[in-house]
């Protein structure tokens, strides 16, 4: 979003290792949020009125309550309830738009009831709700990472409709990432845990055959699969870096859909 002309005025992250990585990489372009109280540690303890005014809210609330890897407890898991903290901020600050991201399982969780709650909460606050299951490989990255993107606008005109961008070709493949002949053109989804499973195990996601040898994915290669810039820094251990990559977003997919969102806002004077 910064690349699209935005300026971050507030961020929230509770994990101490992720906070360290965030600070290291964004202290140069968002100095102001680190000087005051605008790099929040616990979103459940923030008063929305203390957040600076903003135009767009971007959030990825914890996916574990809705994921295959988790227990799929949804809103019964306290982490799933963080959506309502986001909704409270939207209701109080009334931004022009929002961009939410989560695992694809959110859409069908509890036979669609969970997504309906999210849809209704946003709609009842006066926002449109557009959603799509997006794969990282749809937008140029060599990774089978399916996530639901939810985008909406305040007081949206019924005369127009937001469209998610069309797919684009791969920018590079896994052979480029692994710098050798890889057995897969598009890689597995990067995950938060479960590293080190045998390559023949169905749970494997970080091992590939490269030039006939088993090669384990490293953070630098994970960064490339997620579309991060080559100068992105991980001031943490490799295990923490891989966890953060598994928790992160496919940058190119966010950028392409974010640009469509911003263009829609300007075109419709949202």
Kindly list the catalytic residues. 63
Q: Which residues contact 82 (CB under 8 A, 6 or more apart)?
A: 43, 44, 61, 62
CA distances from 180 to 58, 140, 209, 212 (A): 37, 19, 9, 10
- The vertex-257 CA angle with 250 and 27, nearest 5°, equals 60
**CA-to-CA distance for 247 and 266, rounded, in angstroms?**
31
DSSP secondary structure string, 72-93?
--GGGSTTTTHHHHHHHHHHHH
3-state secondary structure of 55: coil
Q: Which residue has the tokens 């045998």?
A: 198
Helix axis angle for 113-124 and 82-93, nearest 10°, is 20
**CA-to-CA distance for 108 and 73, rounded, in angstroms?**
13
Q: Which of 85, 62, 59, 86 is nearest to 74 (CA)?
A: 62
Q: Which residues contact 29 (CB under 8 A, 6 or more apart)?
A: 2, 8
**CA-to-CA distance for 21 and 110, rounded, in angstroms?**
34
- The vertex-19 CA angle with 144 and 262, nearest 5°, equals 60
């Amino acid at each position: 979003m910064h690349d699209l002309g935005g300026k971050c005025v507030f961020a929230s992250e509770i994990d101490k290792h992720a906070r360290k990585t965030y600070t290291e990489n964004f202290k140069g372009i968002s100095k102001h949020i680190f000087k005051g109280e605008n790099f929040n540690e616990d979103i459940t303890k923030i008063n929305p009125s203390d957040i600076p005014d903003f135009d767009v809210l971007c959030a990825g609330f914890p996916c574990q309550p809705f994921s295959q890897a988790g227990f799929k407890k949804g809103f019964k898991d306290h982490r799933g309830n963080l959506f309502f903290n986001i909704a409270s901020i939207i209701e109080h600050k009334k931004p022009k738009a929002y961009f939410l991201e989560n695992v694809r399982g959110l859409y069908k969780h509890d036979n669609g009831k969970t997504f309906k709650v999210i849809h209704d909460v946003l709609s009842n606050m006066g926002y449109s709700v557009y959603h799509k299951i997006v794969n990282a490989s749809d937008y140029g990255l060599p990774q089978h990472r399916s996530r639901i993107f939810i985008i909406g606008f305040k007081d949206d005109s019924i005369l127009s409709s937001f469209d998610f961008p069309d797919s684009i070709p791969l920018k590079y493949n896994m052979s480029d990432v692994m710098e050798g002949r890889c057995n897969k053109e598009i890689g597995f989804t990067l995950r938060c845990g479960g590293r080190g499973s045998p390559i023949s195990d169905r749970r494997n996601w970080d091992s590939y055959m490269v030039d006939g040898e088993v090669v384990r994915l490293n953070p630098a290669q994970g960064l490339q699969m997620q579309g991060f810039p080559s100068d992105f820094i991980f001031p943490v251990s490799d295990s923490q870096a891989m966890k953060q990559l598994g928790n992160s977003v496919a940058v190119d997919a966010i950028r392409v859909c974010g640009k469509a969102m911003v263009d829609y806002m300007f075109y419709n004077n949202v």
